[in-house]
Amino acid sequence: MRDTIYLVMSPSGVERMTKRAPGTSHSEIVVKLTVEVPKDRFRSPTVERHIVIEDWADGTELADLELRQDFITEAEARLIVERRLSRMADVLREHGYLVSPDPATGGEVPDGG
C-alpha cells in the first residue's frame, strides 16, 4: 500500500490532514508525506515513526539583492542574474549535480545528476 497525504502545519501543530494539495494561510506550511507499507506489515501493535522536517532551503540563500530605489539599471539586472546563476550552480554542485558551461551562451547550466 502506498499513499500520499498532506499535513497542514502551523506553529501550534497539525491543523488538518488532506488527500489533496491544500491551500494555506500565512502562518501555515504543507508537509507532503508519501507512506509506503508492505502488505505483510499490517498487524499489531501500532507503528510509530518520528519525522523531523529540516529547513529544505538551508544553505541555498540567494540573498544578493538590496533594493535602495524603486528601479534597477540593466547593468545591475545583469549582475544580479550572474550572481544568482553562479550561486545556483554552487548549490547544485553541493548536492552532487554536474554543472557545465552552456555552449550557446558560455554561461553555466545544470547538466543532470
Query: Stretch 61-87: mean pLDDT, rounded?
Result: 74
Q: Measured in whole angstroms, how far is the alpha carbon of residue 83 from the centre of its chain?
A: 20
Give per-residue pLDDT as tens, 46-65. Answer: 888 888 887 766 665 555 55
Report whether 113 contacts 98 (CB < 8 A): yes
Give per-residue pLDDT as tens, 3-35. Answer: 999 999 999 999 999 999 999 888 898 999 999
pLDDT of amino acid 20: 93
pLDDT of amino acid 1: 92
Task: Tell me the domain boundaries of the chain.
Answer: 2-41, 59-113
pLDDT of amino acid 76: 80
pLDDT of amino acid 56: 62
